[in-house]
Chain A
Amino acid sequence: MIQRFLPLIVTMMVLVVGFLLCAAQFPNFASWRVVGNLLTDNAFVGIAAAGMTFVILSGGIDLSVGAVIGFTTVLLAVLIEQVGLHPAVAFAVALAVGTGFGAAMGAVIHWFQMPPFIVTLAGMFIARGVSFVLTTDSIPINHPLYSDLNDVAWRFAAGGRLSLPAMLMLGVFALSMLLAHWTRFGANIYALGGNRHSAELMGVPVARTTVAVYALSGLLAGLAGIVFSLYTGAGYSLAATGVELDTITAVVIGGTQLTGGYGLVLGTFGGVLIQGLIQTYITFDGTMSSWWTKIAIGVLLFVFILLQKGLLAVWSDRGGEPAEA
């Protein structure tokens, strides 16, 4: 049992030790305000990363999430400011478009037997391209609901606040864990990532599961787009460039294997927070170039992949042991 949770334990230890190191260096670090901001600032990446976790667990990849987030912010800005729709309606449209876009990519991947890398790469260009067609400018969103929503927060007694985006992210992770470990759909995703052919022979609805996984990733990318638009109060076609790579990084640092079949949703949550922590540290330091974030994350990613390789080697050695029968 410990084997399954070992990558998660390592991720969480890195998070806790990292936080303690930061707190040791900066006295103000260990505060609810910092924790609240950490959750808020990384909410959109976290929501998209939850969707990416399912895609990677199923043995796929979704390179379109960053572009879908950017597209969603532009779509919302256009619908609210230019078309005049109420934000609630615009949100519903954005979620539907994101889900439909993901489902379409999943359908192409399954029925045309195309590699997910290529299909979602094409999806990335299409989503990014369409947002440029809609507008090349950054459109501010001035609807009163936006400022109302940004005021929604649960305030900690000791200062700091849990904003709506942060709450949304925590909710998404809670539901994702339920979906992954306590539903047949979740088991089917792990089955698909383990061995597609065997899963098919065991009666897993491969087509339905594949489409649903990419639809779910599209839905969550749409939700991340809504959160991003709340966070920035604007729609911009260059928004969230490269976020797909941040989400993949979070998934891998969280202990999920890129080949699919192994990993836990909670690990991704840890992966998102570790990335956020490094960013926050550099902000606190004030003198370091923000590119150090990338270097630190790169090193961390490398270490985690090596760790996974090591664990996998240990596990496969056990495979040869005689039965305990």
Chain B
Amino acid sequence: MTNPHAPPLLAIRGLSKAFLGVQALDGVDFTLRHGEIHALLGENGAGKSTLIKTLTGVYQRDGGTIALNGAEIAPRSVEDAQRLNIGTVYQEVNLLPNLSVAENLFLGRQPMRFGLVDRAAMRRRARAILDGYGLSIDVAAPLQRFSVATQQIVAIARAVDMSAKVLILDEPTASLDAQEVAVLFDVMRGLKARGIGIVFVTHFLDQVYAVCDRITVLRNGRLVGERRTAELPRLDLVAMMLGRELEAAAHRLAQPTQFDDSAPPLLRFQGVGKARSVAPFDLDIRPGEVVGLAGLLGSGRTETARLAFGVDRADSGTITVDGAPVALRGPREAIRLGFGYCPEDRKKEGIVGELSVRENIILALQARQGWLNPIPRRRQEEIADRFIRLLDIRTPDAERPIQLLSGGNQQKALLARWLATEPRFLILDEPTRGIDVGAHAEIIRLIERLCADGMALLVVSSELEEIVAYSRRVVVLRDRHHVAALSGEDVCVERIVAAIASESSPPVAEARP
């Protein structure tokens, strides 16, 4: 630390890794110094997790070098990395909920006496270690009795006590509340003072500016740059992450047609929120309107969509449909109200792979009618054929299992499922993710046609140009807060990026009409 010529704690040079021909990491450099908290940032597919897994021995690198204190290392397994003093704590705590806190700290290295585990000594030492983190808990109690934050600290304590010099924290704050985050940051600062190097992966920019000394940004598997936090304005950081030269940013492609702002809102959210998911927000959506939700990964976009469809239940606020308050108890209720939802992860939450295209398309309609009242087979075929034609779903026939279709066609079939219910309000989460360019344009055209027909749409997307292209209004989210609502001339990529990068301030609620 004191000697500027000493090698850095960890030096990664020219790291490369490919999966099935896809270059996940392409010549990435990363340097971690002693007693430093270093943020590793990037959007989906940037290569953060590949970098971490290569470092912790889960993956073997294709090229490049990793040096720890100047000596080259090649961890081949997680245990190997642990022996090299590289410890990792994941978002979902990888400890054992059924064992006691003390057993979790000492599993595999319990203090022994006369060939047996010395349980009293183990508890004593566990208490001593956790005291050092300001945690005074019953170490004999099962770990599952404690909050995620406490479990995170136990995981960190275990990693550090196994003499970690490099500590990787992979989104440790994703499921913590503000107070728990503050406790975790105190722990991180304490470790930093002991000379431990911490790699901190997070989606929350405020947290980056709160604790990190340096920032390394990756994008599409390449290094964008390393900066000192103090010298990097937020706007520049967001631009680095999103990869957009701001002056060259695209403007709106198409202006939506005349729109009646005085029309009563179809949907009104007032103070709707859920603890640890998304802060209370206000939002009005009128018939025929497209509202875009923009923000970085993990900013609360999908959480907002899930609240709006009742997948997650809000723990505050009121939702009004057509002027009448509703209790959105679950998706069934939402479907009854004429809502539709195409989730982000269509493999996991959307399509039923083994069922045919027809069965997938009529699923939501049938669910709304109730299973005791089956839709006649001929009517099902009519509906399926109509949407296959309308959306140009490329399939030999309606009876083909949907898993055999391409991603774009699956996405269109999923859209057809909701269109078949003739929804008044449709939520699309990343409608263009993972589909080819042609289908991409078609889906955008479809969105425009749908709102022309008077349907209200809420669209989540990471593609800012895309959001700008079809949204009449854009709500920007940051760190689980709705921070800005843009409309009219303000709907442009620059404004969105500026809102994402804005300093932490009390969340700006959307102005009520």
A325 to B107, CA, bound (A): 23
Check: B352 CB closer than 8 A to any chain A CB.
Answer: no
Check: A304 CB closer than 8 A to any chain B CB.
Answer: no
Q: Looking at the complex, which one of B79, B104, B135 makes contact with A203 (CB distance below 8 Å)?
A: B79
Proximity bits, B114-153, A CB within 8 Å = 1, else 0: 0011010000000000000011111011101111011001
Which of chain A's residues has its CB closest to B144's CB? Answer: A319
Which A residues, 192 to 225, have Cβ-Cβ distances below 8 Å to chain B?
193-195, 197-204
Q: Looking at the complex, which one of B103, B134, B147, B150 makes contact with A187 (CB distance below 8 Å)?
A: B103
Check: A183 CB closer than 8 A to any chain B CB.
Answer: yes
What chain A residues lie within 8 Å of B96 (beta carbons)? 190-191, 194-195, 198-199, 202, 261
Is there contact, CB below 8 Å, between B180 and A203?
Answer: no
Given A182-B119, A201-B94, A202-B108, the answer on whether A316 and B144 have CB atoms closer than 8 Å is yes
Check: A315 CB closer than 8 A to any chain B CB.
Answer: yes
Check: A322 CB closer than 8 A to any chain B CB.
Answer: yes
A183 to B7, CA, bound (A): 42
A190 to B95, CA, bound (A): 12
A76 to B162, CA, bound (A): 50
Is there contact, CB below 8 Å, between A184 and B141?
Answer: no
Given A191-B107, A203-B108, A324-B136, the answer on whether A182 and B94 have CB atoms closer than 8 Å is no
Proximity bits, A278-320, B CB within 8 Å = 1, else 0: 0000000000000000000000000000000000000110111
Is there contact, CB below 8 Å, between A202 and B95?
Answer: yes
A300 to B137, CA, bound (A): 37
How near does chain A come to B183, taking the closest CB pair, in angstroms? 6
A83 to B312, CA, bound (A): 70
A325 to B117, CA, bound (A): 28
Which of chain B's residues has its CB closest to A320's CB? Answer: B147
Check: A148 CB closer than 8 A to any chain B CB.
Answer: no
Check: A17 CB closer than 8 A to any chain B CB.
Answer: no
Q: Looking at the complex, which one of B79, B103, B153 makes contact with A325 (CB distance below 8 Å)?
A: B153
Is there contact, CB below 8 Å, between B137 and A324?
Answer: yes
Given A190-B98, A195-B97, A316-B144, the answer on whether A323 and B82 have CB atoms closer than 8 Å is no
Q: Looking at the complex, which one of B95, B97, B119, B147 makes contact with A323 (CB distance below 8 Å)?
A: B147
What chain B residues lie within 8 Å of A193 (beta carbons)? 98
Check: A3 CB closer than 8 A to any chain B CB.
Answer: yes
Given A184-B117, A324-B137, the answer on whether A190 and B99 have CB atoms closer than 8 Å is yes
Proximity bits, A22-54, B CB within 8 Å = 1, else 0: 000000000000000000000000000000000
A316 to B143, CA, bound (A): 11
What chain B residues lie within 8 Å of A201 (beta carbons)? 78, 94
Interface centre among A178, A183, A198, A322, by most B CB within 10 Å?
A198
How near does chain B come to A206, taking the closest CB pair, in angstroms? 11
A197 to B82, CA, bound (A): 16
What chain A residues lie within 8 Å of B137 (beta carbons)? 323-325
What chain B residues lie within 8 Å of A315 (beta carbons)? 142, 144-145
How near does chain B come to A323, taking the closest CB pair, in angstroms? 4
What chain B residues lie within 8 Å of A143 (beta carbons)? none
How near does chain B come to A177, taking the closest CB pair, in angstroms? 12
Is there contact, CB below 8 Å, between B117 and A183?
Answer: yes
Is there contact, CB below 8 Å, between A194 and B117?
Answer: no
Is there contact, CB below 8 Å, between B149 and A187?
Answer: no
Is there contact, CB below 8 Å, between B117 and A318?
Answer: no
Check: B110 CB closer than 8 A to any chain A CB.
Answer: yes
A200 to B79, CA, bound (A): 9
What chain A residues lie within 8 Å of B136 (beta carbons)? 324-325
Is there contact, CB below 8 Å, between A322 and B78?
Answer: no
A321 to B138, CA, bound (A): 15
How near does chain A come to B99, taking the closest CB pair, in angstroms? 6
Check: A4 CB closer than 8 A to any chain B CB.
Answer: yes
Check: A262 CB closer than 8 A to any chain B CB.
Answer: yes
Is there contact, CB below 8 Å, between A187 and B110?
Answer: yes
Which A residues, 120 to 137, have Cβ-Cβ distances below 8 Å to chain B?
none
A200 to B95, CA, bound (A): 10
Q: Looking at the complex, which one of B98, B153, B158 makes contact with A261 (CB distance below 8 Å)?
A: B98
A261 to B141, CA, bound (A): 14
What chain B residues lie within 8 Å of A88 (beta carbons)? none
How near does chain B come to A196, taking the closest CB pair, in angstroms? 10
Check: A158 CB closer than 8 A to any chain B CB.
Answer: no
Which B residues, 71 to 102, have Cβ-Cβ distances below 8 Å to chain A?
78-79, 82, 94-99
A199 to B110, CA, bound (A): 15
Check: A157 CB closer than 8 A to any chain B CB.
Answer: no
Is there contact, CB below 8 Å, between B94 and A1?
Answer: no
How near does chain A come to B65, taking the closest CB pair, in angstroms? 25
Interface centre among A195, A197, A199, A323, by most B CB within 10 Å?
A323
How near does chain B come to A25, taking the closest CB pair, in angstroms? 40
Which A residues, 147 to 204, have Cβ-Cβ distances below 8 Å to chain B?
178, 181-184, 186-188, 190-191, 193-195, 197-204
What chain B residues lie within 8 Å of A190 (beta carbons)? 96, 98-99, 103
What chain B residues lie within 8 Å of A324 (beta carbons)? 136-137, 146, 150
Is there contact, CB below 8 Å, between B142 and A4?
Answer: yes
What chain A residues lie within 8 Å of B103 (beta carbons)? 187, 190
Q: Looking at the complex, which one of A182, A184, A262 makes contact with B98 (CB distance below 8 Å)?
A: A262
Which B residues, 140 to 184, have Cβ-Cβ distances below 8 Å to chain A?
140-142, 144-147, 149-150, 153, 158, 180, 183
Is there contact, CB below 8 Å, between B110 and A184?
Answer: yes
Is there contact, CB below 8 Å, between B116 and A178?
Answer: yes
Taking A182-B119, A199-B107, A202-B104 as known contacts, 14 extra A-B pairs with beta carbons closer than 8 A to each other, sorted by chain A number, are A183-B116, A184-B112, A190-B98, A193-B98, A197-B94, A201-B78, A203-B82, A318-B144, A321-B145, A321-B146, A323-B135, A324-B137, A325-B149, A325-B150
What are 6 sample pairs from A and B whose C-beta atoms fall under 8 A apart?
A3-B142, A190-B96, A193-B98, A201-B94, A202-B95, A325-B153
* Chain A residues at the B interface, C-beta cutoff of 8 Å: 1, 3-4, 178, 181-184, 186-188, 190-191, 193-195, 197-204, 261-262, 315-316, 318-325
